[in-house]
Every structure is written in C-alpha cells, then in structure tokens.
Structure 1
Amino acid sequence: MAENAVAEKNEEKNPLAREESRSYERYIKPAVNIIETEEGLTLTADVPGATKDTLEVHVEKGILTLSASASRNLPGKPAYTEFELATYYRQFSIPEVLDQEKARADLSNGILTLQIPKREAAKPRKIEVKVS
C-alpha cells in the first residue's frame, strides 16, 4: 500500500496531472524566467495587457498558478496588429522549502515579478567551529 501512497502524492504535485479544468478558450503561455538564489526564487513573467485586477497568482499543494486576462487599453482603433491578446495561464511545481506565506508579487509595465523566499530552516548557513 505504501507504493500507491507515494504514486498518489507524486501525481498530486505534477502540474499536468492536477491542472485545473479550463474552457476551450484560447490561452497564452507567458514567457517566464526563474532565478534561484540562497535567499529564494524570483520569477518574472511577461504578461502585457494584464492588470492588477485581472492577474491571479496562487499556490496550492505545491503548484504555483499564474493566470490573467489581457486587454488592449489604447485609444483609437488598431490599424495593424501582429499578435493577439488572450488569457495567460501557466503552472509550476515549486519546492516545499519556499515560504509561500512571505511571497511578494509586483506588476509593472506588463512584467510580473514574484519573489518567494526560502524558509529560514532551508537557507544555507555557516557553522562556526570552536577550538577546545
């Protein structure tokens, strides 16, 4: 029975296995950079046209989900366009060593910056050696 429990836990954490049900609406997978430091993770995502009100960032069972609807808020009628704005959607599995409660998100000029620090117990630290 232990084997089944492990498999179920892995399936729960796999973004593809537990991805939320979505309509057949068209989605855009935003370009993302993830940088890991000793302090934690910094994720930047390109979400032009998204606003603070339409952007949703949440974590559940080790899965980080980004979603946002985008709109073109420019005055006038577009004469020529080469890309469409649609709903953004992306999921990532994140490690348990991150302190999700202290996560900070900032949206500026269509760039989402999400900072998730590591838990204090997971941060590397130097142990002082004493001579006796």
Structure 2
Amino acid sequence: MDSKQLQAKDKQELQTKSETTQTRPVFVPAVDIYENNDALVLLADMPGVSNDGVEIHLEDNELTIRGRVSEEASGLSPIYTEYRSGDYYRSFTLSNVIDQDKIEASMKNGVLKVVLPKAEAAKPRKIQVKAA
C-alpha cells in the first residue's frame, strides 16, 4: 500500500471494567488534537450527533465528552447493516496549561471542535536580554 493512501479506521467500542446500564453500544470517537501559540484544538469525529446530542462536562481537571445519536423513526426495520450506530464517550485530563474558564465548543457536520485556550503563563513569550 502506498504510504500516501489512507486506511479506513473501524469504530472502537468503549471497553469498561465495570457493569454498564447502557442499552446501546458506546464508541470512542476518533480525535485529532492540534496546537498553536494560543490554544489546543480538539476535533472529535461523532457522525450522527446533533448539537443537542452533545454534552461536555469539566470537573476536577477532567473534560468529558458524550455524544448521543438520535434514533431515526423511519418505520423501517433493518435486515442488513454495515454501519454500527451508538453513542460516543471520551474523557481527557487537563493540565494547568489550559485556561479552563475560556473553553469553547462547536459542532458542525458531525465533527465536534473544542478550543482549549492556553493560560497566559503557558503561552510562548520572548524574553528580553539585558546588558549586564
């Protein structure tokens, strides 16, 4: 396979160590994280999730993302499906580098974008060298 070709990645189901009361499968969304001088930008792929179906919680430096896929009431009963639907769950531990009061999120075309601004102390800065 040519190194420039992309491979499709199957959804990874969330592995739990305790009992769960979920009646539907829960998947770990694929996530890309980018960085610039001002922030970290997290992009989570959650197809089928609407703005109303996303919950983001921040508690004790842990950012938790949940996405609920709404059931379509089409009146059709599937006889064969290749696309597994379910909900999404992912959590991240944040460091003190992130200004937690300024976190913003938006959803577009099934992709959740979370902007995690850096705290002022964590931003790169130029230090002036003085003559001794």
Q: One fold, TM greater than 0.5? A: yes
Moved more, 76-85 or 43-52: 76-85
Q: Give the SS at the match of 1:121.
A: helix
Whether the aligned pair in 2 keeps the contact of 1:72 and 1:85 (CA below 8 Å) is no
Aligned to 2:59: 60
Question: Which runs of no fewer than 5 residues in structure 1 stay unpaired?
Answer: 1-20
Moved more, 115-124 or 36-45: 36-45
Compute the TM-score of the two structures, normalised by the length of structure 2. Answer: 0.73
Aligned to 1:36: 35
CA shift, 1:64, in A, is: 1.1
Q: Number of residues paired by the alignment? A: 112
Aligned to 1:12: none
CA shift, 1:36, in A, is: 2.6
Whether the aligned pair in 1 keeps the contact of 2:53 and 2:70 (CA below 8 Å) is no
Whether the aligned pair in 2 keeps the contact of 1:48 and 1:110 (CA below 8 Å) is yes
Aligned to 1:14: none
Aligned to 2:21: 23
More strand by share: 2
More helix by share: 1
CA shift, 1:100, in A, is: 1.4
Whether the aligned pair in 2 keeps the contact of 1:49 and 1:70 (CA below 8 Å) is yes
**Overall identity of the aligned pairs, in %:** 42
Question: Which runs of no fewer than 5 residues in structure 2 stay unpaired?
Answer: 1-18
Whether the aligned pair in 1 keeps the contact of 2:99 and 2:116 (CA below 8 Å) is yes
Which amino acid in the other structure matches residue 21 of structure 2?
S
Which amino acid in the other structure matches residue 89 of structure 1?
Y
Aligned to 2:121: 121
Q: Deviations over 1:77-118 (max 9, x none)?
A: 468531122111111112121011111111000000111111
Q: Give the SS at the match of 1:38.
A: coil
For residues 70 and 123 of structure 2, the distance between their equivalents in structure 1, rounded to whole angstroms, comes to 40
Q: Give the SS at the match of 1:101.
A: helix
For residues 37 and 99 of structure 1, the distance between their equivalents in structure 2, rounded to whole angstroms, comes to 14
Aligned to 1:45: 44
